Chains A and B, each alone.
Chain A
């Protein structure tokens, strides 16, 4: 059965289907539908919603709830996510899995409330203090918003890492016809993790949720144990390719930029230009091996992003000098038009511009 849903609401319904039973949040545009929806929907399924006094309090409520093994979720938009970074770092340092959504807006500072992709570095480099990583998925539409939470929780609990859904204001606000495909998970059927805080009536050893160890060399040991899991996490990389087999130029884009790029690729193909699209679905881990493989056949790659040029750095690291890397960047919370991207494709393929970079 198909239903018409707004991105932010689909995200909530997806999280509840995935067994989420705790949410704490604070109002910020363009993600306000998330706490609004959760406030009435969670109690319907026996879950708990708290409107927190601040972004900082919200992430720490999630830290507490998630530490009891209850699937928990937070959401915010760019400035609010910055405020949450300390708490996210503590969760990562204490190996507490949970789901957080960033419905990105234009920045820096207060910026604007339009969709943007300027938080790529923050999301894929940890974001807060210390050495850690998140599992980051980038939805490109409302269907992804309802589907991704299930996968995020699965990965987060398997590897004990926080998971992030990196959306933007456009995906959060738009309505699309979607299918509820993911199975509904009843948290009662989930096994209690062996690290979860709770009532101890079995005489098991006490459990501690901490991110600190002041003893000489012990923090290093903790971090190195985590690094093993980060290495394993690399195999959970996901991407999507369109017409890359014979491509002379491959556009690399995620989220909203990927949808715009798909239209630009179509326009190019209609003009006989062999363009292709590579869409990273996970941003952390980033599909670097596959991109390196593609670089042995395709000579030109172009990052298309609604930021000053952030993902392009991961693209360059992946390609590692094996092909040309170009950039079509649009910062400031403005949507990229497919025609602009098409023009950039022409510049590279027909006019042969080397190291093409445009910041529109």
Chain B
């Protein structure tokens, strides 16, 4: 029998807590595959956020730290400055990165910290049960805007890649999706580049991944493809995938 695929060495053999249809598991695997392929597992320090990925510090087979909500880039800054030979990745969701941690996000980019950020954008607060996120689409329902996001009351969604690409310190910013196979392949390539940049000392690199949240999007159990369809039909219009910054 021929072994076609196996668990990446960088991912521990533990069960994850993510909901069915969630995109986190896919991205976790991609990050782990990249860590294996670049042979950086032993020097990677993983920074876990507050949010759905809070337990990620127990999933990856490398040293890890879990810190306060939104402060991942600041923690990563401290680690990278103190141990410049390590590879530091901060894994964050939209509430963490684009709301409470916006200052840390912007300033770590402005300083061109040589770190990698994986940003999961599912346009909702997942862990806390479906409240409006800074990335929630206009008209999208959430538990704190039950009739849909109204720009008169709730303002507009924030586009992180576009925002960060205006900063000189940002070296690489790309937005991808994991709602179909082509998107997953592109996401892996982007993650690989974001890590490779750190290895090569190029600097601040971020990958924004549009990801499904069937539970908090109210997707019907008998029609799970509604979630991927939502990304395909709605999210990409507001958050167009693509390379926003790529400084060699």
Contacts and interface: CB of A to CB of B under 8 A. Distances in A.
A67 B43 CA distance: 15
Contacts of A211: 66
Contact of A201 (B42, B47, B62, B76): B42
A320 interface: no
B54 interface: yes
Interface string A86-107: 1100100010000000000000
A61 B64 contact: no
B64 A64 contact: no
Nearest to B107: A53
Interface residues of A, number: 38
A113 B87 CA distance: 41
B65 A48 contact: no
Contact of B83 (A54, A198, A207): A198
B229 interface: no
Contact of A63 (B43, B75, B85, B107): B75
Nearest to B113: A50
A55 to B, nearest CB: 11
Interface string A170-190: 000000000000000000000
Contacts of A48: 81-82
B71 A206 contact: no
A244 interface: no
Residue from the set A72, A207, A209, A212 with the largest chain B CB neighbour count within 10 Å: A209
B8 to A, nearest CB: 15
B218 interface: no
Contact of B65 (A53, A56, A64): A64
Contact of B67 (A53, A72, A90, A206): A90
A62 B75 CA distance: 7
A290 to B, nearest CB: 38
B77 interface: yes
B67 A60 contact: yes
B81 A65 contact: yes
A208 B64 contact: yes
A210 B58 CA distance: 10
A210 B103 contact: no
Contact of B78 (A62, A94, A206): A62
A209 B86 contact: no
A209 B48 CA distance: 10
A68 B74 CA distance: 14
Given A62-B78, A64-B82, A200 B65 contact: no
A54 B103 contact: yes
Nearest to B106: A53
A86 B50 CA distance: 13
A209 B88 CA distance: 14
Contacts of B65: 63-64, 67, 94, 197, 208-210
Interface in A330-348: none
Contacts of B106: 53
Interface in B153-197: none
B27 interface: no
Contacts of A21: 82
Contacts of B71: 56-57, 60, 63, 87
B104 interface: yes
Given A61-B77, A64-B77, A64-B79, A199 B86 contact: yes
Contact of B104 (A57, A62, A65, A199): A57
A62 B65 CA distance: 13
A57 B82 contact: no
B121 interface: no
Contacts of A22: 78, 81-82
A70 interface: yes
Nearest to B58: A208
A86 to B, nearest CB: 5
Nearest to B79: A64
Interface in B31-79: 42-43, 45, 47, 54, 57-58, 61-68, 71, 74-79
B63 A60 contact: no
A24 interface: yes
A24 B63 CA distance: 23
Nearest to A52: B74
A52 B110 CA distance: 11
A90 B68 contact: yes
Interface of A: 21-22, 24, 48, 50, 52-54, 56-58, 60-68, 70, 72, 86-87, 90, 94, 197-201, 206-212
Given A63-B78, A207-B64, 18 more contacts: A22-B82, A24-B77, A53-B106, A56-B74, A57-B71, A57-B103, A60-B68, A63-B67, A64-B80, A68-B79, A68-B83, A87-B71, A197-B63, A200-B62, A207-B63, A208-B58, A208-B65, A209-B65
Interface of B: 42-43, 45, 47, 54, 57-58, 61-68, 71, 74-83, 85-86, 103-104, 106-107, 111
**Those 7 A-B pairs whose CB atoms lie nearest each other, nearest first:** A64-B78, A65-B78, A60-B74, A61-B78, A64-B75, A53-B107, A65-B82
